[in-house]
A and B are shown apart, each in its own frame.
Chain A
Amino acid sequence: MSKVIVKEKERVLNVVGHPVNRVDALAKVTGTAKFTADYYVPNMLYAVVKHADIPHGYIKKIDTSEAEKVEGVVKIATGKDIPGVKKVGFPIPDEEVIVQEKVRYIGDVVAIVAAETLEAARKAAEKIKVEYDPLPVVLDPEEAMKEDAPKIHDSGNIITHFKIRKGDVEKGFKEADYVIEREYRTQFIEHSYLEPVAALAIPVGDMIEIYGTVQNPHNARRITSLTLGIPMHKVRVIQPALGGSFGGKDDTANFVAARAALMAKLTGRPVKMVYTREQDMRESYKRHPYIMRYKVGFTKDGRITAMEIKVITNAGAYSSSSPLVLYRSTVQCTGTYEVPNIKGDFYTVYTNTVFSGAMRGFGAPQINFAVESLMDEIAEILGMDPVEIRLKNAYKEGSVTPTGQVLKGHVVSIRDIIKKLAEIADWKKKREEYSKDKGDVRRGIGISCAFRGVSLGAEGADYAGAIVEVFEDGHISITSGISEMGQGAKTVMSQTAAEVLGVPIEYVTFVGPDTSFSPDSGPTVASRGTLMGCGAVKVAAEVVKERMAKYAAKLFNTTYENIVFENGYVYSKKNPENKISFPELAKKCYLDRVNLSAVGWFLAPEIHWDPETGEGEPYFTYTYYADIAEVEVNVKTGDVKVKKVYAMHDPGKVVNPKTAKGQVYGGVAMGIGYALKEEYKIDGKGYPITLNFDKYQIVRAHEMPDVEVYFLENPDPSGPFGAKSLGEPAFDTVAPAITNAIAHATGVRVRSLPATKDKILKLLKEKEERR
């Protein structure tokens, strides 16, 4: 295998850009990595929640008398036991850690039992009797938008309405040769992280220490502090090893932490709460189901002239991040295509279903499904090749997005990616060859592409902090509020520190995140972990490096600009025999009272978007990517096998090729599930049906196709080493590539996800009958 030279401009990179082994892999393969449920402390109580019995109604009475008689029960809490703020949440505080007056979905928590044993707590929770005044239930968001619909919250059921008004759609439709209307729908998706949510809260004097499955420890601290009515410095949240998240361990995980903390406060003892898979699936938020209606005008040579869009998303019982998810859908509503005239109305609506919130993709996967399906439908009408139609309309440098933002300052690589990927996949030949298939098994090939605004966007406060400390023995400790959930954050941040300080990665340890010493860096979401975490670590490491360099310069009697840090050594460029090992230099600095620790603060560029007009710059830069999928469809059974996926990403700079590829493979697996088999189902009365992996099915090893991953690096000026984003791009446009391939194979198009065997077979039969 040839040696890889990794460069950042003229500089050769020794650690960043290399496929370094994960820093936390050893602990995980030896079973010594501790996850939240692996913590046990003496005198610990077990806490179990009681969930709502009905999806909508006022609580008349909670009778805990039978429950209290269960041996081992120590304390039962209900809504009135919350000392602090009763409603929490951002951007709209409508969430209740324990419900106060009414239940709004079947996963609401009505009471909490803390007992000496888990069995006692469970038994007691079952014996709590709640009397309700039931209210009418509304499960469909369009029903919930009607005037006479039952109100989930007093503020009315429409939470947010965003608009895009660009150009003149009526004029645009007049210019078009064709105008079509299509409706696309997507389903509730469960994150399905392998580790269920859990928390252990330990009172220490007037402090509460919490270990939790929290993606965002500082948010867990905030929620706990508010709920308990205690100041934030009295709440310490520690994130142990986190068993996956995908955006799903914010709200619910924070509530579990706050609940454990509440019971710890009330009993004065440590309290552990570990959810069963069923409890987790019942209560935790899901990916928003979307209803998307597109009216599109296009010319006969394939140019899109206008789009009129209506999107309705089901926020469920609480708003959570619904407005923010809607924001992304709004500003990315035409996918990666330039449309001169747009009229878009985007709504997110309360219902009595489980609430929807952040999940990998955050409002983009749904839009991508609609837009990428639409492009293929347009291509079909015009007899054009799907790659051709995309190239006709895709963004390029200087293109204007739906919000009026001009794409510049970074390489708009989508056209390049589409062309390259189509070539690699042998697109033209397969497109023709597969369409000739007869017999029971038909092959198909489909493409899908997307772009993604990087990081939080204009609606978020985008900052991150890190601390880098060099110890007297030359080894280094780093920390940040950016957290590890399997994506490799600790590793890439360690690589960054090692790169800057010119040491092997083995010198670096990442500690935390722990709110008592890790700087709040906002949420680890939006695929911003590498960009912001490494950004902050880089800043901090450079500060320490400068101090050490100045000290070394004094030692070598030269100027600080002459000092090089490389491979664990520090030397003078002009006189390389003036050389000292990094540990020796650290020791000297330490003994001479040099400050070897620094806090790095990294800010994303300033941007602004006006929700009233829909105009502005919602993101400071974008990443571009595409997927091509090949499928085999059995037209007798509707069974789809995904045989091959080609994925090409432009993440700016790949900090770790090994972990980056892992992200893409994982994203493909999740994309196949989204496309073909995952659906969290709720029955007509509001009760969940899919509560474990027997009924909610995620992809298994044998269902994975052969996957080829390509990275096209166009370093971005805003990111450390040019890095942008990868986590969500790895997933958010895989599904439409698959459904487009199915359409190619069968001639029928599924417009609602998942594209089950059932649906495909039905469409095939209808097609037969129409003949």
Chain B
Amino acid sequence: MEQLEVHDIEFLTPKTEDELLDILDRYKEKAKVLAGGSDLLLLIRRNLIARPNYIVNIMEIPSLKYINEDEETVRIGATVTHTEAIENQIINREFPSLVKALKTIGSTQIRNWATIAGNLANASPAADSAPILIALDAKLKIKSAKDEKIIPVEELFVGVKKTILKPNEIIKEIIIPKKRKNFAADFIKLGKRNALVLAVVSAAAGIEMSEDGKIKNIRIALGSVAPTPLRAKKAEDVLRGKEPKMDLIDKCAKVAKEESKPISDVRASAEYRREMVYVLTKRVILNALKELGVDVE
């Protein structure tokens, strides 16, 4: 990684969104957005990113701190922390599976200050809230000084620690569509309370049933088994439009296993991770179906 010989560094704390986006527009890659801070300081210290000229603290911008709902969606602002989301009534009511996932991230101290959007923007292969957000069909509003666009969460990630975000862009909010009553989602991370262990494998599934007892739609997302959070589309195809039978669910989980491309590292071997994809995918699907009151034989 090329080290910019930086002679100057300034810590900026904009008070409005416009001020923030203006700063990013002006300084581009010389500036780095700081939200909760659990990632940026370490990245700089470990020389994993070039030392920025500007550290831009976005936590004092009131217009970024909100959890709002309307008829169709719930929208989570850029500076909402994990703890705030976990304690929020709307989120608990609408997306209990998201609360479950958020609780497995980091530790109390980290959840108190780390933002969900910031965790996504950091794009670790284990970005722990990504799989469930993908399963919930969540979207992100990406904003810059002059532009604004909405993308599905899974399109944010392009590689290990790489997102499509340009230096002058931020994630402004996370948009999660409210669910109809025939929908359920579940999330599992291997070893429920292994929070500080960057996940060995995690899996999330969101299932919508149709009136005739078939799976109308299914979204399966996996964490820590590919350079980015992975949407297991081929596995989804196995079950989409079909009746949820055990042998089909088993096949779906096996296809998810084939779709995953994990690496071996200190925490686990690739072989082990792939096997866990099978085990966890099967489990999240069965859990979601159970919540829907669907009996699988």
B residues 264-297 with Cβ under 8 Å of A? 266-269, 271-272, 275-276, 279
B21 interface residue per 8 A CB criterion: no
Determine the residue in chain B with the shortest Cβ distance to A126.
B47
Determine the residue in chain A with the shortest Cβ distance to B275.
A761
Check A694/B272 contact, CB under 8 A, given A637-B190, A637-B279, A639-B190: no
Check A695/B266 contact, CB under 8 A, given A636-B279, A639-B191, A702-B193: yes
Verify A761–B196 contact, CB threshold 8 A: no
B164 interface residue per 8 A CB criterion: no
- Number of B interface residues in the complex (CB < 8 A): 16
Verify A694–B269 contact, CB threshold 8 A: no
**Chain A residues near B268 (CB, 8 Å)?**
756-758
A558 interface residue per 8 A CB criterion: no
Complex Cα distance, B193 from A702, in Å, reads 8
**Chain A residues near B271 (CB, 8 Å)?**
758, 762
Verify A690–B266 contact, CB threshold 8 A: yes
A residues 5-43 with Cβ under 8 Å of B? none
B198 interface residue per 8 A CB criterion: yes
Verify B266–A637 contact, CB threshold 8 A: no
B197 interface residue per 8 A CB criterion: yes
A587 interface residue per 8 A CB criterion: no
Determine the residue in chain A with the shortest Cβ distance to B197.
A697
Complex Cα distance, B68 from A593, in Å, reads 82
**Chain B residues near A700 (CB, 8 Å)?**
196
**Chain B residues near A694 (CB, 8 Å)?**
196, 198
A406 interface residue per 8 A CB criterion: no
Interface membership of chain A positions 634-677, coded 1 if the CB is closer than 8 angstroms to chain B and 0 otherwise = 00111100000000000000000000000000000000000000
Verify B276–A637 contact, CB threshold 8 A: yes
Verify B279–A689 contact, CB threshold 8 A: no
Determine the residue in chain B with the shortest Cβ distance to A278.
B46
Complex Cα distance, B198 from A679, in Å, reads 17
A681 interface residue per 8 A CB criterion: yes
Partner of A681, one of B197, B266, B275: B266
**Chain A residues near B272 (CB, 8 Å)?**
638, 757-758, 761-762
**Chain A residues near B279 (CB, 8 Å)?**
636-637
**Chain B residues near A638 (CB, 8 Å)?**
272
Complex Cα distance, B266 from A404, in Å, reads 44
Complex Cα distance, B190 from A761, in Å, reads 14
Measured between C-beta atoms, what is the minimum distance from B143 to chain A in Å?
32
Determine the residue in chain A with the shortest Cβ distance to B193.
A702
Complex Cα distance, B276 from A762, in Å, reads 12
Determine the residue in chain B with the shortest Cβ distance to A758.
B272
B residues 193-225 with Cβ under 8 Å of A? 193, 196-198, 200
Interface membership of chain A positions 679-717, coded 1 if the CB is closer than 8 angstroms to chain B and 0 otherwise = 101000000011000110100101000000000000000
Determine the residue in chain A with the shortest Cβ distance to B266.
A695
**Chain B residues near A681 (CB, 8 Å)?**
266
Complex Cα distance, B190 from A752, in Å, reads 23
**Chain B residues near A702 (CB, 8 Å)?**
193
Complex Cα distance, B281 from A637, in Å, reads 13
**Chain B residues near A756 (CB, 8 Å)?**
268
**Chain A residues near B276 (CB, 8 Å)?**
637
**Chain B residues near A758 (CB, 8 Å)?**
268-269, 271-272
Determine the residue in chain B with the shortest Cβ distance to A703.
B193
Measured between C-beta atoms, what is the minimum distance from B285 to chain A in Å?
15
Measured between C-beta atoms, what is the minimum distance from B280 to chain A in Å?
8
Determine the residue in chain B with the shortest Cβ distance to A694.
B198
Complex Cα distance, B269 from A695, in Å, reads 14
**Chain A residues near B200 (CB, 8 Å)?**
757
**Chain B residues near A639 (CB, 8 Å)?**
190-191
**Chain B residues near A761 (CB, 8 Å)?**
272, 275
Complex Cα distance, B296 from A131, in Å, reads 67
Determine the residue in chain B with the shortest Cβ distance to A440.
B279
**Chain B residues near A762 (CB, 8 Å)?**
271-272
Complex Cα distance, B191 from A638, in Å, reads 10
**Chain B residues near A636 (CB, 8 Å)?**
279
Measured between C-beta atoms, what is the minimum distance from B275 to chain A in Å?
7
Verify B190–A689 contact, CB threshold 8 A: no
Complex Cα distance, B268 from A679, in Å, reads 12
Complex Cα distance, B275 from A757, in Å, reads 11
**Chain B residues near A695 (CB, 8 Å)?**
266-267
Complex Cα distance, B266 from A761, in Å, reads 16
Measured between C-beta atoms, what is the minimum distance from B222 to chain A in Å?
15
Complex Cα distance, B190 from A38, in Å, reads 40
**Chain A residues near B198 (CB, 8 Å)?**
694
Complex Cα distance, B276 from A679, in Å, reads 22
Complex Cα distance, B191 from A238, in Å, reads 44
Complex Cα distance, B198 from A694, in Å, reads 8
Complex Cα distance, B106 from A700, in Å, reads 13
A residues 746-760 with Cβ under 8 Å of B? 756-758
Complex Cα distance, B275 from A644, in Å, reads 29
Complex Cα distance, B266 from A679, in Å, reads 9
Complex Cα distance, B266 from A689, in Å, reads 8
Determine the residue in chain B with the shortest Cβ distance to A765.
B275
Determine the residue in chain A with the shortest Cβ distance to B267.
A695
Complex Cα distance, B267 from A681, in Å, reads 11
**Chain A residues near B267 (CB, 8 Å)?**
695
Complex Cα distance, B191 from A758, in Å, reads 13
**Chain A residues near B193 (CB, 8 Å)?**
702
Complex Cα distance, B200 from A639, in Å, reads 12
Complex Cα distance, B199 from A531, in Å, reads 45
Complex Cα distance, B57 from A539, in Å, reads 63
Determine the residue in chain B with the shortest Cβ distance to A701.
B193
Complex Cα distance, B254 from A218, in Å, reads 62
Complex Cα distance, B273 from A762, in Å, reads 12
Measured between C-beta atoms, what is the minimum distance from A205 to chain B in Å?
39
**Chain B residues near A690 (CB, 8 Å)?**
266
Measured between C-beta atoms, what is the minimum distance from A561 to chain B in Å?
62
Complex Cα distance, B268 from A681, in Å, reads 13
Complex Cα distance, B39 from A619, in Å, reads 52
Complex Cα distance, B196 from A636, in Å, reads 23
Determine the residue in chain B with the shortest Cβ distance to A695.
B266
Complex Cα distance, B270 from A758, in Å, reads 10
Complex Cα distance, B196 from A695, in Å, reads 10
Determine the residue in chain B with the shortest Cβ distance to A697.
B197
Measured between C-beta atoms, what is the minimum distance from A757 to chain B in Å?
7
Measured between C-beta atoms, what is the minimum distance from B41 to chain A in Å?
14
Complex Cα distance, B196 from A632, in Å, reads 22
Measured between C-beta atoms, what is the minimum distance from B142 to chain A in Å?
30
Complex Cα distance, B271 from A702, in Å, reads 27
Complex Cα distance, B176 from A670, in Å, reads 44
B residues 180-196 with Cβ under 8 Å of A? 190-191, 193, 196
A residues 461-478 with Cβ under 8 Å of B? none
Measured between C-beta atoms, what is the minimum distance from A614 to chain B in Å?
39
Complex Cα distance, B264 from A681, in Å, reads 14
Complex Cα distance, B268 from A638, in Å, reads 12
Determine the residue in chain A with the shortest Cβ distance to B47.
A126
Measured between C-beta atoms, what is the minimum distance from A419 to chain B in Å?
36
Complex Cα distance, B275 from A638, in Å, reads 11
Measured between C-beta atoms, what is the minimum distance from B85 to chain A in Å?
22
Complex Cα distance, B193 from A639, in Å, reads 12
Complex Cα distance, B196 from A757, in Å, reads 17
- The residue among A638, A679, A702, A758 with the most chain B CB atoms within 10 A of its own CB is A758
Complex Cα distance, B267 from A555, in Å, reads 73
State the A residues within 8 Å of B (CB). 636-639, 679, 681, 689-690, 694-695, 697, 700, 702, 756-758, 761-762
Closest 9 interchain pairs by CB? A758-B272, A695-B266, A702-B193, A636-B279, A758-B269, A758-B268, A689-B266, A681-B266, A637-B279
A-B contact pairs, 16 of them (CB 8 A): A636-B279, A637-B190, A637-B276, A637-B279, A639-B191, A679-B266, A681-B266, A694-B198, A695-B266, A697-B197, A702-B193, A756-B268, A757-B200, A757-B268, A758-B272, A761-B272
State the B residues within 8 Å of A (CB). 190-191, 193, 196-198, 200, 266-269, 271-272, 275-276, 279
Beyond A637-B190, A694-B198: 8 further Cβ-contacts under 8 Å? A636-B279, A637-B279, A681-B266, A695-B266, A700-B196, A757-B200, A761-B275, A762-B272
